[in-house]
Amino acid sequence: MGRRCGVLGDPIEHSLSPVLHRAGYAALGLDWAYAAHRVASGGLAAFLAGLGDDWRGLSLTMPLKREAVPLVDELTERARLAGAANTIVLGSDRLLGDNTDIPGAIAAIRERTTAPLATAAIIGGGATAASIGLALADLGVRHLEIVVRSPERAFETAETVRAHPGRPAITVSRLDEATTFEVDLVASTIPAAAQDHHLVRACGDVPTVFDVIYHPWPTPLAASIGDRVLVGGFDLLLHQAAVQFELFTGRPAPIDAMRTAGEHALAQRASA
């Protein structure tokens, strides 16, 4: 029987998730539907209450990842550790919350570089930053700097990453005081509009830059990369969507078909 899935968030119009998941369904001949739904902060519980038996999975983006945690019946270990769920799998009588940003980030980074990573900085302190921090800890990072406009807003993220089994050392600093990052990788989770010349200069000597934004693209950070390694937001979106696809359908994700569809959609946006 046909199933329904979707992506929820606010704003949501820019999301490429429908393109990726629908391409996967088409490649496997699945009679499934996937659509974007605008759900503002505080609205997730009501949306969940209105779902029928034909719903199988939800992808969550800002501002719902932490809001989802108390609304599900069960959390995977990675979602529990992150304190955030970007995925809800709907079973017959239970809601499972998962976090595919973590394995998605690992796959995205390792697709672009195999260099050892011991030190890193993350720009931003929200739920996505926490997931990226946990992914970096999985990859061997032992010293992590969280760089934010207001240090008090990074407390939850810092505590989340500090609880990783690898026990990475965490420092929190102010974005407006950043000068030069001397780390193996810097990851930005802030909007493109917030990436000013000061930030771009501070990241100028970092060998690997990971920007989780995919729209608009390129961001100022991405445009400054030169011959250094760039991990883009589309890389993360694709790989976390592939994990979601498998959770929802129980089938291996046709990642090549999903990648082609996503790249085509991005090219159309760039030329519009």
**Structural tokens at position 45:** 């519980």
- Say which of 65, 66, 164, 239 is annotated catalytic: 65
Could you report the per-residue pLDDT of 141-169, keeping only the tens digit for each? 999 999 999 998 899 999 999 999 999 99
Q: Write down all domains in the chain, each with its CATH number in brackets.
A: 4-99+238-271 (3.40.50.10860), 103-234 (3.40.50.720)
For residue 34, report the phi and psi dihedrals to the nearest 5 degrees.
-145, 125
- With a pLDDT cut of 70, the percent of the chain lying above it is 100
Q: What's the whole-number mean pLDDT along residues 204-218? A: 95
Please answer whether residues 192 and 220 qualify as being in contact, where contact means their C-beta atoms are separated by less than 8 angstroms.
yes
Q: Active-site residue 65, yes or no? A: yes
Query: For helices 127-138 and 155-162, what crossing angle results, to 10°?
Result: 20
Whole-structure pTM value: 0.95
What tokens were used for 191? 């909007």
